[in-house]
Amino acid sequence: DVLHGPVRWPASIRGRDRLLRIGLNKLAGFKVENRFMRARLALFKRVMKHHVSLE
């Protein structure tokens, strides 16, 4: 199903790396996170560096 009409929050814009987060630090609310996927990938790389060895 699709809701027609303008999107009233910048949750997802094609080609932009952002996420609409619902809640932050155990508080209810909305916050737009820019560069979310870049930060997520950096965290993944850091964790994998400690758990995976290619030797």
What DSSP string describes 2-39? Answer: ---S--SS-S--TT--EEEEEEETTEEEEEEEETHHHH
pTM for this prediction: 0.45
Q: What is the pLDDT of residue 12?
A: 62
Distances (CA, A) of 26 to 21, 39, 41, 45: 12, 20, 24, 26
**Where do the domains of the chain lie?**
1-55
pLDDT, tens digit, for every residue of 1-55? Answer: 676 877 666 566 667 777 777 776 777 777 777 787 888 888 899 999 888 887 7
pLDDT at 40: 84
Question: What is the structure's pLDDT at 28?
Answer: 72
Per-residue model confidence (pLDDT) at position 41 = 87
User: Which pLDDT score is estimated for 11?
Assistant: 60
